Structure 1
Amino acid sequence: MLKSVEALRPGGRCCHRLASLAAPAVSRSINRRTPLHVRALIARGSEECGGHGTVFTFGRWAMHRDAQHRYQRHIANLLTSRTWLNLTPPLTGLTVVAGIQCLYQELVVRDLLPGYFPLLQMSDGPFELTSFALSLLLVFRTDSSYGRWLEAMNTWSTVKDVSKDIVRMVSCWVEDPKARAFLLRWTIAFSKCLKVSVREKGDYAAELNGVLLPAERAKLASSTSPGPTQFALAVLSSAVTRSVDSEVRADKLLSAIARLGSAISACDKLLKYPIPLAYTRHTSRFMIIWLCFLPLSLWDDCGWGVLPIEALVSFLLLGIEEIGVQIEEPFRRLPLDDLCADIERDIGALAGSRDQVEGLVDAALGPAPAGSSEHASSPGSHSSAHGHSNGVHSSLLHRRPATLDLEVAGMMEASSSTDLSTTVPDIAIASPDSTRAGISMMGRNKSA
């Protein structure tokens, strides 16, 4: 138990890894008899190991909802929490300002200053009038920041889901083991590249070591595309068109890759465009001015007790804004390392289960007839007649627009009174030129 906890200490041997990697082993050892200081150390372990978010396990959820010790645990690690440490400078400044005001008031009351120095007093009215505005500012600030965090989390969840969808389709549809392994490698590489692109300090070579081959890493490093992430998408798209025989299947894979491209745009938007700075600045100015004048209103009732009250109120209000600022930059708070590790692990598991899945299906349904998969997936295709050319299927070289069949179907329904067998004799031919010629003939007959 102590060794597991020691690994979570800041500066410990395993601090460079997220605490969630050790969480299952640690959480099994946590119970209600665990000392409070140990619970506090475990609770903040992942936050202090880089501050990149926490991945909960069942043990962490049990500790999180434990009302008997939750509040004690949170108070016990107050002075070591990231929010307190970040707010130490402004809290110190506000407390010093309050101390200067109290000292001035004390000197005036004791007549230790000349008579022309007045006693500074302030009623509660201004604070009561402005407290609702301060509340609205803080609520909007945290709500907007949480919206950005949630959008980032949803974007990465999409990346994870789409990556697994791509792997499932590739495992079923790509027969060439070399092409299949290539697509799986670059699917993993995409998530790694996306993680590095949204982090302040990241090394593409270190992240991709063990994922891509040395020659592939060199090509990625020397690419002239907008970035390694876009380059990885281009590689995936090119590999799909060369490796998938069926036009319909290739379209499905390319659509999934396009969703990964949308995730790049979403991450880029969140990284480059924060909440309007005017709002952030005004909220900070509002709170600092409000807190600086607060001791003048409390002096008559509290005297020197203003100092702890000022420090406490400042921490509570500034802490709300500090949380909003932290989650406004969501990629520093999200457990991206764990998400990428999940993607890599799931891709490996899906790829490894391919033979088991096919064996189970073959045992239950019998082997699939030769060539049946192509015709089933691409009706009307002439793939069996043309074969392959340099690894690229002929149906991908001469692709018929996807909307063409829909237009033809609509014309056939609209022209039910016309003998289509005589007006459009070549409508079933897969050649794009002959199909367009048939449609032109239909148009001329309808005009007549």
Structure 2
Amino acid sequence: MFNRKNKDVNNLANQEENTNFLLGALAWHGSVTPRVLLSVLITGLYTLGLAWIDIHYYKLPGFAVTPFEYIGAVLGLVLVFRTNAGHDRWWEARKLWGAIVNQSRNLLVMSWNYGADDKQWCNDMTKWIVAFSFAAKESLRLQKEFDDLKAILNDSEIIELRNAPHSPVFVSGKIAALLQQARLNSTIDGFVFLEIEKQRAALIDSIGGCERILKTPMPLVYAIKARRFILIYLLLLPLSLIDEVGLMAVPIAILVAYPLFSLDRIGIELQNPFATKNLSHLPLQSICVGIKNIAATFNINKMAR
């Protein structure tokens, strides 16, 4: 079950696009199509119902097509703004996680080269530096699963981590305590302490930036208005199409509804780049495992010297 869950999460994580145009255009996994398909079909059935009534029972009032062309252009701009706002949040989150990776690397290099001449101290620093990324990942996903850390943390440490009100701050506190220990023992000088402390503080700044994205959704007033415009547009558009093309209004309405619903959904999917249920969420698991592998390789190389 655990492996199946991870597989599903990876399928929804952001991946490179297929270089083959046709395969990319027809891709199902990672596309918003499954999530908007019901809304598109309902639009088609609604248009079909109106066309059936217009042809067999009662002549519905028609509208000129021209106003809908202008309204559609304005609606497209509204949706593009929504999508761009979501992408800005997604990209900012990725930059913050890039900073976490770089700060973790800096801490590893500084600890092993400028830190205390004590293998145990270096090993403790390494395990908590690695633990920070996993703690940050779980905190942003509102979870507390730390099975990936069982190889480097003992049971009591994992229990402490799970019970901590804010796991990234708990891990940062462990790193700070190790730095203070080395400073009081005079195993690192004041300059080295300050430089390593800057990197530790930067980790907190990065997770704080991620939490700002997580806890500040798009303004509700904008989301409501954008969707209300889509609803009104798709409710009135068939009345114009039926008068012009009859039953052909059904496929035309579907073709219009599909990109509108898709753009709206893309904006939603990108708002929270950490949630595993969202499409193209950041591959945080891969990033954390990358930090863990770097630490392991670095540790082995230092031990071999």
Is TM > 0.5 for Structure 1 vs Structure 2?
A: yes
Question: TM-score normalized by structure 1?
Answer: 0.62
**1:351: how far off?**
2.1
Query: In structure 1, how many angstroms separate the alpha carbons of the residues matched to 2:30 and 2:295?
Result: 36
Q: Secondary structure at the match of 2:12?
A: coil
Q: Which runs of 4+ in 1 moved over 6 A?
A: none
Question: TM-score normalized by structure 2?
Answer: 0.89
Q: Identify the residue that residue 278 of structure 2 maps to in structure 1.
A: none
Please, which of 160, 176, 180 is the counterpart of residue 118 of structure 2? Answer: 176
Deviations 1:62-105 (A, max 9, x none): xx33xxxx232134434x65411111221122112111110111
Aligned amino acid, residue 196 of structure 2 = L
**1:214: how far off?**
1.9
Query: In structure 2, how many angstroms separate the alpha carbons of the residues matched to 1:118 and 1:215?
Result: 75
Kindly report which structure 2 residues correspond to 1:81-96, keeping only aligned pairs within 5 A, or say none.
Answer: 82-96=31-45
Matched, 1:229 2:171: no
Q: Identify the residue that residue 55 of structure 2 maps to in structure 1.
A: 106
Aligned amino acid, residue 287 of structure 2 = L
Please, which of 121, 140, 143 is the counterpart of residue 81 of structure 2? Answer: 140
Q: Identify the residue that residue 97 of structure 1 maps to in structure 2.
A: 46
**How many percent of aligned residue pairs carry the same amino acid?**
23
Q: Identify the residue that residue 257 of structure 1 maps to in structure 2.
A: 200
Check the 8 A contact 2:134/2:288 in 1, yes or no: yes
Query: In structure 1, how many angstroms separate the alpha carbons of the residues matched to 2:49 and 2:170?
Result: 59
Distance 1:221 1:300, change over 3 A: closer
| Structure 2: gaps spanning 5 or more residues | 276-280
Query: In structure 2, how many angstroms separate the alpha carbons of the residues matched to 1:48 and 1:228?
Result: 22
Deviations 1:116-159 (A, max 9, x none): x5432110232133223212211110110000000100010100
Specify which structure has the bigger relative contact order, considering alpha-carbon pairs within 8 angstroms and separated by 6 or more residues. Answer: 2
Determine which structure has the larger helix proportion and give its number.
2
- In our comparison, the structure showing a higher alpha carbon Rg is 1
* Greater mean deviation of Cα atoms: 308-317 or 180-189: 308-317
Name the count of aligned residue pairs. 295
Kindly report which structure 2 residues correspond to 1:245-284, keeping only aligned pairs within 5 A, or say none.
Answer: 245-284=188-227
Kindly report which structure 2 residues correspond to 1:23-422, keeping only aligned pairs within 5 A, or say none.
Answer: 49-54=10-15, 56=16, 64-65=18-19, 70-78=20-28, 82-107=31-56, 113=57, 117-173=58-114, 174-200=116-142, 202-223=143-164, 226-243=165-182, 244-332=187-275, 333-355=281-303
Aligned amino acid, residue 194 of structure 2 = D
Q: Identify the residue that residue 378 of structure 1 maps to in structure 2.
A: none
Query: In structure 2, how many angstroms separate the alpha carbons of the residues matched to 1:247 and 1:213?
Result: 31
Check the 8 A contact 1:15/1:49 in 2, yes or no: no
Query: In structure 1, how many angstroms separate the alpha carbons of the residues matched to 2:23 and 2:3?
Result: 23
**1:278: how far off?**
0.9
Query: In structure 2, how many angstroms separate the alpha carbons of the residues matched to 1:236 and 1:180?
Result: 11
Check the 8 A contact 1:16/1:50 in 2, yes or no: no
Deviations 1:315-339 (A, max 9, x none): 1121111111101111131000100
Query: In structure 1, how many angstroms separate the alpha carbons of the residues matched to 2:163 and 2:214?
Result: 24
Aligned amino acid, residue 49 of structure 2 = I
Query: In structure 1, how many angstroms separate the alpha carbons of the residues matched to 2:189 and 2:5?
Result: 45
